């Protein structure tokens, strides 16, 4: 996952907005902390703002605490539309 994101975003040379779809995502509890640390690093390096969504209430409940433990915004929206609407607008210049 990290490699795919790095290959797409590093060449841009700037941070971007992102909406991440966690539908059908499976996280082994044994790697949850490492995964959350990786997400934190990717957020810091590549994103102006990022929101997440999943239609699975179970997955939202499971991933939120793992993200929060690493200082990543833990809210996971129920739909792509909600996630897109929650992205912060760019600062006024």
CA-to-CA distance for 36 and 38, rounded, in angstroms?
Answer: 5
Q: What tens digit of pLDDT does each residue of 10-58 get?
A: 999 999 999 999 999 998 989 988 999 999 999 999 999 999 999 999 9
- Report which of residues 61 and 89 the model is more confident about: 61
CA-to-CA distance for 9 and 18, rounded, in angstroms?
Answer: 11
Rounded mean pLDDT of 80-87? 95
**In the predicted model, what is the mean pLDDT of the chain?**
91
pLDDT band at 3 (very low <50, low <70, confident <90, very high): very high
């Amino acid at each position: 996952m990290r490699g795919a994101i790095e290959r797409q975003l590093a060449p841009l040379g700037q941070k971007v907005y992102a909406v991440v779809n966690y539908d059908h995502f499976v996280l082994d509890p044994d790697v949850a902390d490492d995964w959350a640390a990786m997400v934190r690093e990717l957020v810091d390096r590549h994103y102006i703002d990022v929101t997440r969504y999943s239609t699975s209430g179970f997955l939202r409940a499971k991933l939120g605490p793992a993200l929060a433990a690493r200082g990543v915004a833990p809210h996971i929206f129920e739909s792509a539309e909600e996630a897109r609407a929650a992205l912060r607008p760019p600062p006024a210049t």
